[in-house]
Amino acid sequence: MNYFRTALLLAGLTALFMGVGYLIGGGTGAVIALVVAAATNLFAYWNSDRMVLSMYGAHQVDRQSAPELYDLVAELAQRAGLPMPRVFLMDEAQPNAFATGRNPDNAAVAVTTGLMRQLSREELSGVIAHELAHIKHHDTLTMTITATIAGAISMLAQFGMFFGNRSSNNGPGIVGSIAMMILAPLGAMLVQMAISRTREYAADNFGARIVGQPMWLASALAKIENAAHQVPNMEAERNPATAHMFIINPLSGHGVDNLFATHPSTANRIAALQRLAAELGTQTAPRPAAPNTPPRGPWGGTPSQRGPWG
């Protein structure tokens, strides 16, 4: 159902692009806009992983520098039938994570130090499995195609305003051009966000199946959502366009699946995972921390005694 909805939304976005091109009254402007938008997004497709990892100061780790994290990713990647992705760590207090890379052979999983410190090993497994699900489903490619079409629509709307035929007989006219310049990009943005939300639900479902315990991911989502309201991610605040990449919106975390949200409601995601747990007959929650003990990282030892990877 999620794949069908994604395909339907992409078809709608393509139809919107073609409709805007038709309103302008010529194919030349549509072709130019599509070529320019495609070139821009093709560059981003090949380089976005390095750009975003550098933006967040992520550094690559291996079995020697972060053995528990690296081995956990390796185990889950094997379960998912994926090649081993590169593993990165971000020195960021807010617990969060994202996946990037143009395809499974060139993928990377990045987690924050806050995620390592605040989540149990079971919860961290759920988060990493979610990110591997994005890689498995080629969601980076899907969102690149979406961005290409949305960018082309925005460019077409600008062309229609400044270069289009403003004759009331052969074009949209001045009022129609202004309306198109505002409404067409807005419509494209709404479809883009709807596709992003759809892919999050699909990644939750498949990620939970990778670890076999949907409630591990549900518990992690609740913790990350709560922390996102309390611990600011300043780099994300400076680059809000990257917010859709994270497992939970690092900016604010919306309470409902509204039209402008990049992520589904966390409550709705948890409810879907609870239904999946009932379907699979696995209601196991992560092991709680022992009472009256200082906070511990998922690998043992207090954060002040040991780094988040031992």
Edge-to-edge order in the sheet of strand 108-112: 59-61, 86-90, 108-112, 97-100
pLDDT in tens, 212-226: 999 999 999 999 999
Among 276, 289, 308, 310, smallest CA distance to 133 is for: 276
- Is 229 among the annotated ligand-binding positions? no
CA 195 to chain centre: 10
Q: Distance between CA atoms of 214 and 236, rounded to whole angstroms?
A: 28
- Higher pLDDT: 68 or 48? It is 68
| Average pLDDT of the chain to the nearest whole number | 78
Mean pLDDT of 105-128: 96
Contacts of 283 (CB under 8 A, 6+ apart): 215, 277
Mean pLDDT to the nearest integer, 231-245: 84
Distance CA(20)–CA(180), nearest Å, equals 8
Residue 225 is labelled as binding a ligand: no
Cα separation, 305 vs 310, in Å, equals 9
Report the DSSP pairing between strands 86-90 and 108-112.
Answer: parallel
Q: What is the pLDDT of residue 237?
A: 85
Closest CA to 131 of 91, 77, 187: 77
Cα–Cα distance measured from residue 92 to residue 129, given in angstroms and rounded to the nearest whole number = 20
**pTM for the predicted model, two decimal places:** 0.76
Check residue 161 and give its pLDDT: 62
Q: Kindly list the domain boundaries of the chain, sorted by start residue.
A: 2-280
Tell me the CA distances in angstroms from 156 to 35, 189, 210, one per residue in order: 11, 14, 42
206: left (phi over 0), alpha (psi -120 to 50) or beta: alpha
pLDDT at 192 over 50: yes
pLDDT, tens digit (0-9, with 9 covering 90-100), for 116-127: 999 999 999 999
- 287, 294, 278, 275: which is closest to 219 by C-alpha? 287
* Residue 131 annotated to the active site: yes
C-alpha dihedral (305, 121, 127, 292), degrees to nearest 10: -70
The tens digit of pLDDT for each residue in 155-180 reads 667 666 665 554 445 555 666 666 66
In the chain, what is the greatest distance between 2 CA atoms, to the nearest angstrom?
77
- Residue 138 marked ligand-binding: no
Judged against a pLDDT cut of 90, whether residue 115 lies above it is answered with yes
Where b means 16+ CB within 10 Å and e means fewer, 263-280 reads: bbbbeebbebbeebbeee
Give the three-class secondary structure for 259: coil
> Alpha-carbon distance 230 to 251, whole Å?
10
pLDDT above 70 (res 151): no
In the set 68, 92, 131, 225, the catalytic residue is 131
